[in-house]
Amino acid sequence: MGRGRLRARIRRSHLYTFGCTKRPATDDDKPHDFQGPGFSRIVYCNQPEMHDQEPLKYCSNYVSTTKYNIITFLPKALFEQFRRVANMYFLLAAILSLTPVSPFSAMSMIAPLAFVVGLSMAKEALEDWRRFIQDMKVNLRKANVHKKDGVFGHRPWMKLKVGDVLRVEKDSFFPADLLLLSSSYEDGICYVETMNLDGETNLKVKRAMETTLSLDDDETFKDFSAVVRCEDPNPNLYTFVGNLEYDRLVYPIDPSQILLRDSKLRNTTYIYGVVIFTGPDTKAMQNSTKSPSKRSRVEKQMDKIIYVLFIVLLLVSLISSIGFTVTTKYYLPNWWYLRVPDNKGLYDPGKPLTSGIYHLITALILYGYLIPISLYVSIEVVKVLQALFINQDLHMYHEESGTPADARTSNLNEELGQVDTVLSDKTGTLTCNQMDFLKCTIAGTPYGTRASDVELAAAKKMAMDRDDQSQNGSTNGGESSEKDFTDSEIELETVITSKDEDDKKAAVKGFSFEDSRLMNGQWFDKPNADDMLMFFRILSICHTAIPELNEETGVFTYEAESPDEGAFLVAAREFGFEFYKRTQSSIFVRERYPVFQEPIEREYKILNLLDFTSKRKRMSVIIKDENGQILLLCKGADSIIFERLSKNGRAYEEATTKHLNDYGEAGLRTLVLAYKKLDEEKYSAWNDEFVKAKTSVGGDRDAMLERVSEMMEKDLILVGATAVEDKLQNGVPQCIDILAQAGLKIWVLTGDKMETAINIGFACSLLRQGMKQICISMNTDAIVPDSKQAIKENILMQIINGTQMVKLEKDPDMAFALIIDGKTLTYTLEDDMKHQFLNLAIGCASVICCRVSPKQKALVTRLVKEGTGKITLAIGDGANDVGMIQEADIGVGISGCEGMQAVMASDFAIAQFQYLERLLIVHGHWCYKRIAQMICYSFYKNIAFGLTIFYYEIYAGFSGQTAYVDWYMILFNVVLTSLPVISLGVFEQDVDSEVCLQFPALYQQGPKNLFFDWFRIFGWMGNGLYTSIMIFFPCIVIFYDQAFRVDGHTADMTAVGTAMFTCTICAVNCQIVLSMCHFTWFQHLLVWGSVVLWYAFLVVYGELPYSLNDNAHGILREVLAPAPVFWSTAIVVTLACILPYLAHICFTRVFNPLDHQIIQEIKYYRQHIEDKHMWRRERIKAREPTKIGFTARVDAKIRQIKGKLNKRQSILSIVQRHHHS
């Protein structure tokens, strides 16, 4: 607390010229005059009990993202289940099974339906319970609340009420929307990080009203009371209208005094605030929407298949009904032993049409086995188990934060294997918001020799290519000499990159600089030492940070408004210029140069500070050093600083510009440093103007300040530039590279400015040197501000020109990148322009959208999803990403960060972006193929089984009599064939996870839908038709009218039905074995166990008294087992059933193998171990052609190096020929 008190004496508001300064009282500062709808909220501060009754009863601070609650679960879950057309059919069939028209007992229809629906509802309940647990983690966070008499205590977030006074500590989230009353700083300043809300990394400055600044201690709230009248809850993040009634006066409240839920207190020890909005009323929650119900495309396709089967069912039922009508009219009167007509009127020769209608209902129930009732529940079980495997994958477990992957819904597992476009946030998703000082240029000389990953990778790859050539025996004298030449050139190109990986690790956080010329005071004897000294002083003085001493390590850390500023101060400290103290009017720096001298503590008086804003793109500080010299030190964007240089200050401009371009291509963020000396008289005259502008009253105050600042910030002298690395999360470039090789398109949607986004694009290889950038932006200078039509025409022309450029490009290696900002997107997303924009974006290798709002992120996602008709995945980490996460087909939240909004809205949560690679390329690929195969197989087995019932009907006079015992039919879908299907859906692997990552192009089998297109679906249906014929007719021929046992017995209906059912069970289980590529002991247990279980059931069932009702007593032991023809029929029929599929897969593997089948054979013959060069060549061939990612960047570098080599080789040949002549 002592350290907080020390900083509280600094009036931070004095540092800010443009941001959050207290203006003199003006007419505009009168209380807001509002009334009527939209402005009805009244808050009694420090009196939360006043809000317990109507009309002031506001919602609690409890937040829920669950789909159900205790009351709504049963009706909503039942609605979800019976929204599925198949379940609706089986419900109707179950109801009809209670009537005389049913061919089955009621139990045989109701039991499977209850089991299927019950299991699905249990799965829904389990998933919603997990959402509830996530919600409670947030709701049970502790807040420090004023209880009474100046005493504060802890209370869960969910128990907070409107009017509560809170004390929020540094680095804590605000639990509700608060009105800022005071802070640890004397003038009520506090710093807020809004990254969760808008993606901005720079801290925002908030300031309390002057009237409440005295409320800076717990005791002061003992008798505090006030009333806030303000706007009603709304989603506008950047506006707020309200009045504070305090001490019998009324004060206006503006947005700079409002602290929003889920933003975070930074660089401020504590603040006091009063709760204005809670829970669903907070602006963060007002911006969120209910999580939409998402269904995968495979599941939608499955519905279409079921519709096809319904048509088949209806057709077969009509045929059966017509057959029964004819039989009833013409044949039934002759069958006197049937006692027609029956007393229920189901078959009456006098009313054949009525009998036919009754029979139609019977047939619709009877042939219902064409539709697999167990399919839905099998898929539910499989998806839950797949989700469990995703959650348990140790390769996606983040050890530092202890965060595993989390499949929050299992409905979309297979969708992970069909993604076409990934839309990603930048801050917190691709980057970790940590800056590393990497390189710099001082007085026209570049410093920083850290290795370039691209050049190093290019050299390694070329070396491997040469190894391949030598393996192929292509060695002769000419090639050898050329190779030697190449070796030397590559060595020359990568002379600074051949470092050990260990050397790359930064010893100091925020400082990865490597160059002995600047370290340990080595620069002091250089010719440009004065410029270097000025460079280091600008780094250590030109900022608004506060130093804090770590008492354990003795090292100063810095609380800065932006990560860049913190990196500069760490760099200055490492260079020997340690900023260690700030007072109201001075900065103290401990300077150590040369290194052998004792450090000198210098004081620099701050005269003025012109702070950084996104519009100014620069920051300046005017100081007076110990010699009385007044200096202006400035840092800012190159375009801003270069145009403000004096004629004499441009000595290093050309060299610095070249270095800035190099740094930009390497993905680094750059700032230019400059200064100028001032004399006392000119400064005093300017300062009078500046103070006059700063204290002016009126709407033109900001314009006056900007004009006066412009007068000072000119005629600068260039010193150099810095290059910091916006630290990417671990594995981001490699992950993007793998995703690009897998054929995925990657869009970046960020709230950051264009320059930052472009730098990140370079850093993660979405952009590279030589790639043509198409920047779509509004030319605001050339167009009248109100001319919307002119703006749209200008943007449309840029889009058309860009599209033409892409179409007319003849170089196959040329890549295009589309870069667009949020203001321009406002126009391009309108209906009359969005499709042209999308066409251009599709033609580009990468797309980066900058300065986009959360709503625009969602709109862009919707445009890509609906415009391309392909599956989209959105990934983000903050509340500003919720819209696009919910809009995309699949939403992925980054769960490693503290804000949980993105995770709560997501379908899958991972700790870091790098795990997306494994989530899609491995789990997505597996899940898609597993689900596709198990659905196709399920339809196959049910068609094979259901059609045998129809064939038997023909032989039974369309009477509605089934060949099978009811218990057989119950067990068929629920037990005997469902467990092998589940084993296929959970354990099947065409290739292992390592191969999936080595051959990322295998992923394209999902987006191309190779395993679930109509050709394959109808192929499986045809196979089911063939199997049904091969099961029914041989069994009928063998068992129909001849003895099947030695004692001369002929088979009755139960014996024939049991034999057919045995053949069905054996055939469909052998079929599933043929469709599997990967076997575990568990799969063997379930597949062969199902066959054994059938025989075991026959033994047990044959001994039960129930079997007497079905004439099945001792059916296996006494009737079928003693007959050799029973066993031989089962074997022969099974072989006949699987023969066509066996021939098909053999033909495919030999003459038209798929990629995974080739890899399987290579692995089977161990060629990946014995011939590694061949294995690597296959891996290279298996890449999808892409122009983004690290590999594409390396390929471009290789082409560049080879181009140089060819050019030099040509020159060398010309010189040699000239020399010989």
Token look-up 């940070």 returns: 545
**Exposed/middle/buried for residue 301 (C-beta within 10 Å: 0-12, 13-18, 19+):** middle
Catalytic residue among 164, 281, 425, 564: 425
Beta bridge partners of 892: 875, 908
d(CA 362, CA 354): 13
d(CA 715, CA 648): 8
For the four alpha carbons of 964, 968, 974 and 976, in that order, the dihedral sign comes to: negative
Beta bridge partners of 967: none
**DSSP reduced 3-state for 899:** coil
**DSSP reduced 3-state for 168:** strand
The tokens of 46 are what? 């420090």
d(CA 634, CA 675): 6
Specify whether the CB–CB gap between 1116 and 1102 falls below 8 A: yes
Q: What is the DSSP secondary structure assignment for residue 1046, as one 8-state letter?
A: T
Query: What DSSP letter does each residue of 102-113 carry, written as one string?
Result: -SS-HHHHHHHH
> What are the backbone dihedrals phi and psi of residue 401, each rounded to the nearest 5 degrees, phi first?
-100, -5
What does the H/E/C string look like for 814-875?
CCEEEEEEHHHHHHHCCCCCHHHHHHHHHHCCEEEEECCCHHHHHHHHHHHHHHHCCEEEEE
d(CA 265, CA 283): 17
Q: Is beta strand 431-442 parallel, antiparallel or unpaired with respect to 419-424?
A: unpaired
Q: What is the DSSP secondary structure assignment for residue 452, as one 8-state letter?
A: P
d(CA 579, CA 567): 13
**DSSP reduced 3-state for 247:** coil
Burial 441-478 (b: 16+ CB within 10 A, else e): bbbbbbbbbbbbbbbbbbbebbeeebeeeeeeeeeeee
Task: Tell me whether residue 1013 is one of the annotated catalytic residues.
Answer: no
d(CA 109, CA 618): 75
The tokens of 1102 are what? 């044959």
The tokens of 360 are what? 């139609």
Beta bridge partners of 716: 645
> What are the backbone dihedrals phi and psi of residue 713, each rounded to the nearest 5 degrees, phi first?
-85, 60
What does the H/E/C string look like for 601-621?
EEEEEEEEEECCCCCCCEEEE
Q: Is beta strand 249-253 parallel, antiparallel or unpaired with respect to 242-246?
A: antiparallel
Query: What DSSP letter does each residue of 204-242 carry, written as one string?
Result: EEEE--GGGTT--SGGGGSS--EEEEEPPP-S-TT---E
Q: How far is CA 387 from CA 302, 985, 1014, in A?
A: 20, 12, 27
d(CA 300, CA 627): 78
- Please provide the size of the chain in residues: 1221
Q: Calculate the dihedral angle through the C-alpha atoms of 526, 529, 533, 538, rounding to the nearest 10 degrees.
A: -100
Q: Which helix (H) or strand (E) holds 578?
A: strand 577-582
d(CA 1175, CA 1162): 8
What does the H/E/C string look like for 1133-1177?
HHHHHHHHHHHHHHHHHHHCCCHHHHHHHHHHCCHHHHCHHHHHH
Which residues neighbour 558 within 8 Å (Cβ) at sequence distance 6 or greater? 545, 546, 547, 548, 565, 566, 569, 570, 579
- How many other C-beta atoms lie within 10 A of the C-beta of residue 982? 19
d(CA 1142, CA 1071): 9
- Residues marked active site are found at 425
